[in-house]
Structure 1
Amino acid sequence: MKAVCFAMLALLTGSLQAAEDTRQLVSLPAAAEANLRAEMCANLLALNEILELVAAGKLAEAGEVAAKQMGLGAMGKYRSEPLAARPGPHLPAAMHAIGMDGHRAADEFARIAASGDRERTVAALPSLTVACVACHHAYRIR
């Protein structure tokens, strides 16, 4: 069964790669692109840590990671760098708004997780990736 799933995934991936990418290309200065990619990788690491913590029943800790690594407080990492290294000012307004929604969602997840209610916390997990999916679905930088 696993082999069939992997084969289907390989076929799907191949056909998706062959299809034209209709996402909006966003051109960024090289330094801003590198910082944006680093931030997205850091978000993936944070998401993985959050999932591990929720699975282990450490809800408050999961919320702390969400707030610290992905919430509104995580913004401004590149504020002291030159304009060409800061992703935010180079993003289309709608793309920037999606990013802001993601930061707010992380803070809301943190609030829910801090309550200790496992059911509500698990139900809130998808809110951490909605903005990611929306942005990656609509935009590309390469």
Structure 2
Amino acid sequence: MKNVLICSLALLAGTAHAAEDARQLAPLPAAAEATVRAEMRANLLALNEILVLVGAGKVKEAGELAEKELGVSAMGRHRGQPVDARPGPHMPPAMHATGIDGHRAASEFARIAATGDRDQTIAALPSLTSGCVACHYAYRIR
């Protein structure tokens, strides 16, 4: 009985939290939602690897990875997929613009990292995640 009560309270807390979610819903077709969720997981892996490389003093390599996986070079990866599987065309325009700004910020980080200056590269790290934070705080897909 105690476990049922705890589970019920947890469920209610989760429901209340979802009801308070003021982010704009950006409904996507199921295939586009699956694409964007997979891309966000891949972006997290790339961010983690970039941090590992910077921590190891391999700032040029971190910049190369940032450009390849997150920068402007990474834009358009889904062009070959059916329209229903491509997130961009289904996003609100401001959400799509935020994503593009994130790609540009990653390219700027890559440019800074390419100089090999570790201190400037570390100072530029927040630019890698600021677009992510802005989008995730303003929009939701569920």
CA RMSD of aligned residues (A): 1.5
Q: Whole-Å Cα distance in 1 between the matches of residues 110 and 57 of structure 2?
A: 14
Q: Tell me which structure has the larger Cα radius of gyration.
A: 2
Unaligned regions of 5+ residues in structure 1, if any?
1-12
Deviation at 1:19, TM superposition (A): 6.2
Tell me what 1:63 maps to. Answer: 63
SS at match of 2:80: coil
Give TM-score, length-normalised by structure 2.
0.87
Tell me what 1:105 maps to. Answer: 105
Tell me what 2:4 maps to. Answer: none
Give TM-score, length-normalised by structure 1.
0.87
Unaligned regions of 5+ residues in structure 2, if any?
1-12
2:79 is the counterpart of 1:79: yes
Deviation at 1:17, TM superposition (A): 2.9
Aligned length: 129
Instruction: Map Cα deviations across residues 9-66 of structure 1 (whole Å, 9 max, x no partner).
Output: xxxx97x837610000111000000000111111100000000000000000000010
Tell me what 2:128 maps to. Answer: 128
SS at match of 1:129: helix
Q: Whole-Å Cα distance in 2 between the matches of residues 48 and 20 of structure 1?
A: 30
Give the letter for the 2:88 counterpart.
G
Q: Whole-Å Cα distance in 1 between the matches of residues 81 and 18 of structure 2?
A: 38
